[in-house]
Amino acid sequence: MSAIFEVRNLKRSFGGLAVTNDVSLSMAPGDRVALIGPNGAGKTTFVNLVTGNLKPDAGEVRIGGETVTNVDAIGRVRRGLVRSFQVTRLFQDMTPAEHVALAVLQRDGRAGRMFGNFLAMPGVMAEAGSLLGKLGLRDLAHRPVREIAYGQQRLLEIAVALALKPRVLLLDEPAAGVPQSDTGRIEQALADLPDDLAVLMIEHDMDLVFRFAKRVIVLAAGTVIFDGSPADVTKDPRVREAYLGSYADAGSAA
């Protein structure tokens, strides 16, 4: 299957320090990939580069075979590359229905109607209701975000991302800050993502990584040191040294 998302020899330095050092990867539709690595490995910089929030010093980003290295972040969203953030960026006084409706309008190029009466747009509201229902948020659709639990806010972020109809979804620690009692809802939402959607998840929770990912990429000091199966990642000596030592040892002892 041909790649839907490709990064080729991506490089970025700050003050002479290579933060992204010749990184390459590709993803096909339906891929479930986890990007892991120690703090300071360059994961966030990498995501900012591929989503258009930072410009690379060298290299190429391609979506669906089209080179988008010089396309801005909004242009990349329109081409199907959508991200969530490690810290929620929702509007606390808006409702879930309004958030998702805004995303639908943006996707359809109707941004000029963003401040209209969403309730008078039956097509938009039907789509918003369907997405919220799939994520267990239908009963909260018209409550201000500030009144709903943080775990439900993370689910809302996924709903907003899906409303943009991505081909590639980048999830930055989707369960960060969510109480352990609510992480099951996040995992179920991840399991229910469309089968043809390519998903790249940055995550520190290794148990979640191993339940989600079919492939693991390890970044250390801005360089990819491993790209392979979850079964092999804990056996790799470079990965054990750079990041997974204690986790791998615990797994071996279990």
In the chain, beta strands by DSSP E: 5-14, 17-27, 32-36, 58-63, 66-67, 81-83, 168-172, 198-202, 215-220, 223-228
Query: Using 50, 70 and 90 to split pLDDT, how confident is the model at 120?
Result: confident
| pLDDT, mean of residues 29-58 | 94
Q: DSSP letter string over 28-71?
A: -TT-EEEEE--TTSSHHHHHHHHTTSS--SEEEEEETTEE-TTS
Is residue 96 domain-resident? no
Is residue 178 domain-resident? yes
Note the pLDDT of residue 254: 36
Query: Using 50, 70 and 90 to split pLDDT, how confident is the model at 114?
Result: low
Is residue 110 domain-resident? no
Give me 132's structure tokens: 């919220």
Question: Of residues 120 and 6, which shows the higher confidence score?
Answer: 6
Domain that holds residue 17: 5-91+166-253
Note the pLDDT of residue 40: 86
Mean pLDDT of the chain: 88
Query: Total domain count for the chain?
Result: 1
Q: Where residue 55 sits, what CATH number does that domain have?
A: 3.40.50.300
Q: What SS3 state is found at 116? A: coil
Question: Of residues 121 and 236, which shows the higher confidence score?
Answer: 236
Is residue 193 domain-resident? yes
CA distance 74 to 59: 20
